[in-house]
Structure 1
Amino acid sequence: MSKHRKMLSGGEFRMGSNRHYPEERPERTERVTEFAIDVFPVRNSEFAEFVEATQYVTLAERKGYSHVFQMTEGPVPLNNPDQWWKAVQGACWHNPIPGTELPGDFNEHPVVHIALEDAKAYAAWAGGRLPLEAEWEFAARGGAHNTQFAWGEEFAPDGQRMAHVWQGAFPWYYVPGGTPATAAVGQFAANGYGLHDMIGNVWEWTSSPFKQPSSCCSCSPQQDSNTLFALKGGSYLCAAEYCLRYRPAARIGVAGASSTSHIGFRCVYDASPK
């Protein structure tokens, strides 16, 4: 389990945004109390420790499949995610993209193909819980005063990329080449609270229900469910032309039984009574 945590004192902050997608509105003042949070999203090495200790089997493993992103052969309309999301037999946390070799630094990548119940089970084992959406956004802002991005108003200050998000033309052209996938955590600068990968790499579960209709149906496979939960942070698949959601205020609603190659999580921990 993660031993890298930061204690945040809590307080008031500006949550949401009036500048972007409808589900982020209204911008408002929220308050959170003191809590600790993982510095990184839960990594494969940590999830493997949990599985070894508990013999836990994820929902994707029980179902026998999970959803994997697959690039299209050329430009396509961006209103149908089924064009690039495929249910793949055998896809799960330890085999995230069947048919491809695991990277040498796989243990340091954020775990994916994790459904809400899987994330909750790990969090309970680790002595924590999943964050409320307000806690997650407070942490992601890093003390910044409602800037567009976690690091300021510019996406790439002085030309420097600040998060692992899509490069190229989604969903068919990926500038780095190869297969788009997660990256080892901690490759980008920490935010003002010393937290890494709050933005990009993987979407992260919260325990908060998602009660507003999302204007973005392309971030995740379409799900038949009336119970959605808020995901935060964006992922390596977020691209400005269709999903400018690599921002603290950004959010999507996903069914709790969903598991994909771009959804992970991190834990929070209640402050000890004084």
Structure 2
Amino acid sequence: MVVIPSGGFLMGSPHDEPGRGDGEGPQHHVTMDKPFAMSRGAITVREFRSFVEDAGYRTGAERGNKGCFVWNKGSREWERHQDCNWRNPGFHPDDRAPVVGVSWEDAMAYVKWLGDKTGKDYRLPSEAEWEYAARAGTSTPFSTGNRIGSDSANYDANYHYADCKARPDVSKSKIAPVGSLPANPWGLCEMHGNVWEWVADCWHESYRDAPVDGSPWYEENDGVRSQRVARGGGWNSEPSDLRSANRVKFCLDAADIYLGFRVARSLSD
């Protein structure tokens, strides 16, 4: 776990940021009154397996043959495969890689188990905590500045961003083990790219009336309970998806091979 300092930041993106989505505004100041901790990287296959074996847990994708969406390299389309889940996401999962094929509900089950096992307040980070930690004191689209490259993030380099050239020759086209790429200024790995990460919040179409204290935003002010927010972009994402302010929505029972999570923890006074 990495301790994230208390402080404030401007959440969301300015109107002139390339790739900006409508849901990234209005920009608003958020203040974290207390430091908190966040896992250095996404929860790995090995860590998730420990939970499954100890708790006798079955993920949503494993129950009822729901399966996961899998990327078809030939057709370059996403297809639902009923036999795919975190154990078999369409490729051989490296124990050191982020676990994928897990829904928001699965992630919540993991953090509850972890909290019960350790006696500590583990949880999913709020959307504000996630963006604050991803920015790591920066106000640019990425913690690396106005540009992102394959030396600092795992994404689909077939696409360009602003004045960053496309580099199809360097695309990894697969998930990388946690810690494969340099950490951001606050010591967190792969906040940009590799896998999308669930956060606690319900989906809201904008930040109008959003909390300003870093707390999760649930159903109040027209939040959609059945939809949750994911952040960070994935190995298959365009670079604009990796921006610190970018946000997308998924149904809370969605389990796809680009969706994972990391954990946060409140710190004792």
TM-score class, shorter: 0.7 to 0.9
Do the aligned residues in 1 keep the contact of 2:193 with 2:233 (CA within 8 Å)?
yes
Partner amino acid for 2:196? W
CA distance in 2: counterparts of 1:51 and 1:112, whole angstroms: 14
Q: Say which SS state the counterpart of residue 139 (structure 1) adopts.
A: helix
1:213-272 C-alpha deviation (Å, 9 max, x unpaired): 8xxxxxxxxxxx8721111000011124xxx11011110011101010000000000111
> TM-score, normalising length from structure 2?
0.81
Q: Deviations over 1:122-166 (max 9, x none)?
A: 11111211111000111111122x11112112223xxx6310001
**In 2: Cα distance, 1:174 partner to 1:71 partner:** 15
Q: Which residue of 2 aligns with 1:188?
A: 181
**Which segments of 5 or more consecutive residues in structure 1 lack a partner in the other structure?**
74-82, 214-224
1:29 aligns with 29
- Residues 6-53 of structure 1 show CA distances to partners (whole Å, capped at 9, x for unaligned) of 111222111110221111112221112321100010000000111111
Question: 127, 135, 151: which one pairs with 2:129?
Answer: 135
- Does residue 110 of the first structure (1) align with residue 98 of the second (2)? yes
TM-score between the two structures when normalised by the length of structure 1: 0.80
For 2:228, the equivalent position in structure 1 comes to 229
> Are the aligned partners of 2:182 and 2:189 in contact in 1 as well (CA < 8 Å)?
yes
- 1:187-220 CA-partner distances (Å, limit 9, x unpaired): 111001100011100000011111118xxxxxxx
Question: 2:212 matched to which residue of 1?
Answer: none
Unaligned runs of 5+ in 2: 116-121, 161-166, 207-223
Listed as ranges, the matches of 1:118-197 within 5 Å are 118-127=106-115, 128-144=122-138, 146-156=139-149, 161-168=151-158, 175=169, 180-197=173-190
Question: Match for residue 200 of structure 2?
Answer: 207
How far off is 1:71 after superposition? 2.8
1:70 partner amino acid: N
Distance 1:59 1:47 in 2: 14
Per-residue CA deviation, residues 41-92 of structure 1 (Å, 9 max, x unaligned), is 000000011111111100000032111122354xxxxxxxxx7121102101
- Paired with 1:10 and 1:59, the residues of 2 have a C-alpha distance of 36
Q: Structure 1 CA distance, aligned partners of 2:158 and 2:3?
A: 37
| Shift of residue 175, structure 1, vs aligned partner | 4.4
CA distance in 1, matches of 2:243, 2:159: 19
Matches of 1:177 and 1:238, distance apart in 2: 11
RMSD over aligned Cα atoms: 2.2
Q: Does 2:238 match 1:239?
A: yes
Is the 8 Å Cα contact of residues 156 and 171 (structure 2) preserved in structure 1?
Answer: no
Partners of 2:252 and 2:193 lie apart in 1 by: 20
Task: State the partner residue of 1:67.
Answer: 69
Whether the 8 Å CA contact 2:112–2:123 is kept in 1: the answer is: yes
Q: Match of 1:252?
A: 248
Q: May I ask how many residue pairs the two structures share in their alignment?
A: 234
The runs of at least 4 aligned residues of structure 1 exceeding 4 Å deviation read: 173-178
Question: What CA distance in whole angstroms lies between the structure 2 residues aligned with 1:249 and 1:238?
Answer: 15
Inter-CA distance 114–174: structure 2 relative to 1 (3 Å threshold) = farther
Once residues 190 and 169 of structure 1 are traced to their aligned partners in structure 2, the CA distance between those partners, rounded to angstroms, is: 23
1:54 matched to which residue of 2?
Answer: 55
CA distance 1:177–1:34, shift in 2 (3 Å): closer
- Identical-pair percentage: 32
